[in-house]
Structure 1
Amino acid sequence: MTTVSTPHGEVWVASPPAEAGVRDFDEFYAASFTPLSLQLYAYLGDLGEAQDVVQEAFCRAYARWSRISRYDDPVAWVRKVAWNLATSSFRRKRTALNFLRRQREEHFEGPDPDRVALTRALAEIPAQQRRAVVLHYMAQLPVAEIAAQEGVAEGTVKSWLSRGRAALAAQLKKEN
């Protein structure tokens, strides 16, 4: 591995076989980085991202520099790789955006004011009465089942329900 100095800092990349190749690559990089970055910036609209894809393309070129340096136009190879990377990045972002657009936002209306008042009133009555009222009116359990569940006589459950309704009525009247 070798470090290559760039206008954006140093980057670790695979070493080409010959030291002369490193000097050639450094010159190639220095002469080509900015123009390629500007071309990709025009395509992507984001200078940082353009520099990133061009940098990645140069890293790939450096790893193959012994072969690419013999091309008639090594800049064309780097440009093609950078454009392919930019296109892939653009597609990934577009796919993510389309996914997000397909997601439905779930909007929930706030609780009904009557339900809020009832919840507050339930919190104010004794626990046994509250339990009996909730089980009978909300869970729709019959008195006999509530009595069996609570381990009390049916008359006791009926008493809790009667007192619970009266207490709820008083609490709800207070709130209004």
Structure 2
Amino acid sequence: MKAAQEESFREFVEGSWHRLLRTAYLLTGDHGAAEDLVQTALMRTYRHWGRIEDYEAPEAYVRRVMVNVNISAWRRRKAVVHVVAEPPEPAAGAGDHQNTYAVRDELWRAVCAMSPRMRTAFVLRYFEDLTEAEVATAMGCAVGTVKSQISRGLTKLRNDLQAEGSFR
């Protein structure tokens, strides 16, 4: 690879690493797996950087690679890991911040319990704030599929959180 392209890639990685890592964490639910996912996606992107750097949005390209790698990982995985640990009981007189973290933890556990495809659509739509069309492009599916996955995900979240008594 030419020195100018290598420098361009290095600058891209430095400028987008944290956003890509956040997306990967939301897709995988695990810090180690998220780092592996980003590194794998960047390694695959590096091989083609000469034609990608002129691409309108290289970060969208890398995000698409991350989604594809993550989908391949689900297909190979024999068992799905779900987070099941219950948060500790709040201390007597605990402030509102503890309740906020407890609700956030409960919401995150419910998101992690979604199917990988549903969680991917949900993360890209609501955590990454992509449009339905952008999510469909990143996932390689139709906009209608994204809409149905989001709808089912919201219904599942509502039901799971109401069953636990968090939201009424």
Report TM bin, short chain.
0.3 to 0.5
Task: Please identify which structure carries the higher strand content.
Answer: 1
So what's the TM-score if we normalise by structure 1? 0.43
